[in-house]
């Protein structure tokens, strides 16, 4: 019995170590209550329509991970004096895809599970969104040029999120790309596999999701 107990302790310790090592990479986003006022473009603003946009996601669990993409369906961004000031874009949750090499029946089952009520409940919440509240330049920061605070809506739940971004404006072209950042999925009621609901240690899916947002805009 003593040997068995020692083996169990070692197993749990190793599980914890692996779990910690496999947590997603990225700067932890600051999350708070939804802002009541959004940034607004003035008459002097230069407007950009989002011509292409993709959100790259990575979710990890003990001993493995999955990654994929979600498409940005549409959006508008505004600049003044060469600086991003406001904007909003829609997130097409029905476009969620797995791009890590998972194929066939396994991929079909995984996509169906991600779209179900266990995760993003796409049938009832087909669209998410991100609406800019404020933008602050971060001079001297090698990782990003700005911190963008916005209201992120998923599954009908809206939270204020502050994320890093590299914003480049060149003539009629605008790009905004974030370094990797993480959010806690449970704050948007995505709790499947979370330790918060008593999931067994060897079955836990980490609460943090790593994201990279890539937006391209054209003036007009």
- Domain definitions of the chain by residue range: 2-219
Token look-up 């949750």 returns: 93
Model confidence pLDDT, tens digit, residues 21-30: 477 889 999 9
Q: How confident is the model at residue 103 (pLDDT cuts 50, 70, 90)?
A: very high
Amino acid 11: pLDDT: 41
Q: Which residues does 124 contact at the CB level (< 8 Å), separation at least 6?
A: 117, 156
Name the CA radius of gyration of the chain, rounded. Answer: 20
Start-to-end C-alpha separation, the chain: 73
From 43, 67, 39, 65, select the one nearest 55 (Cα to Cα): 67
Q: How confident is the model at residue 94 (pLDDT cuts 50, 70, 90)?
A: very high
User: 89 pLDDT exceeds 90?
Assistant: yes
Least-confidence region, from 59-63, 78-82, 93-97: 59-63
Q: How confident is the model at residue 57 (pLDDT cuts 50, 70, 90)?
A: very high
Q: Are the C-beta atoms of 47 and 220 separated by less than 8 Å?
A: yes
Amino acid 62: pLDDT: 83
Q: Are the C-beta atoms of 181 and 15 separated by less than 8 Å?
A: no
CA atoms of 123 and 97, how far apart (whole Å): 16
CA atoms of 56 and 210, how far apart (whole Å): 8
User: 102 pLDDT exceeds 70?
Assistant: yes
User: 32 pLDDT exceeds 60?
Assistant: yes
Secondary element (H or E) of residue 79: strand 64-80
Compute the mean pLDDT over every residue in the chain, rounded to the nearest whole number: 91
**Superfamily the domain 2-219 falls into:** Lipid/polyisoprenoid-binding, YceI-like (2.40.128.110)
User: 6 pLDDT exceeds 50?
Assistant: no
Model confidence pLDDT, tens digit, residues 120-177: 999 999 999 999 999 999 998 888 999 999 999 999 999 999 999 999 999 999 999 9
Q: How confident is the model at residue 9 (pLDDT cuts 50, 70, 90)?
A: very low
Per DSSP, 117 falls in state T
Per DSSP, 169 falls in state E
Residues forming beta bridges with residue 31, ordered by sequence position = 161
Per DSSP, 12 falls in state H
Report the 10 Å Cβ neighbour count for 41: 17
Model confidence pLDDT, tens digit, residues 109-125: 999 999 999 999 999 99
């Amino acid at each position: 019995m003593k040997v068995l107990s020692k083996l169990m302790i070692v197993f749990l310790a190793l599980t914890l170590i692996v779990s910690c090592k496999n947590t997603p990479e990225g700067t932890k986003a600051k999350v708070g209550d939804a802002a009541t006022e959004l940034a607004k473009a003035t008459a002097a603003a230069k407007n950009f329509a989002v011509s292409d946009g993709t959100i790259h996601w990575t979710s990890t669990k003990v001993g493995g991970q999955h990654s994929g993409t979600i498409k940005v369906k549409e959006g508008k961004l505004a600049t003044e004096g060469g600086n991003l000031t406001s904007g909003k874009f829609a997130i097409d949750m029905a476009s969620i895809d797995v791009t890590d090499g998972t194929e066939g029946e396994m991929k079909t089952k995984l996509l169906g599970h991600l779209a179900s009520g266990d995760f993003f409940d796409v049938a009832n919440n087909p669209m998410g969104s991100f609406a800019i509240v404020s933008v602050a330049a971060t001079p001297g920061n090698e990782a990003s040029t700005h911190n963008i605070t916005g209201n992120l809506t998923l599954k009908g739940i809206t939270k204020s999120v502050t994320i890093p971004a590299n914003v480049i404006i060149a003539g009629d072209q605008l790009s905004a790309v974030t370094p990797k950042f993480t959010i806690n999925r449970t704050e948007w009621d995505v709790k499947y596999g979370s330790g918060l609901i008593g999931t067994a240690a060897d079955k836990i899916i980490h609460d943090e999701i790593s994201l990279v947002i890539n937006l391209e805009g054209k003036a007009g």
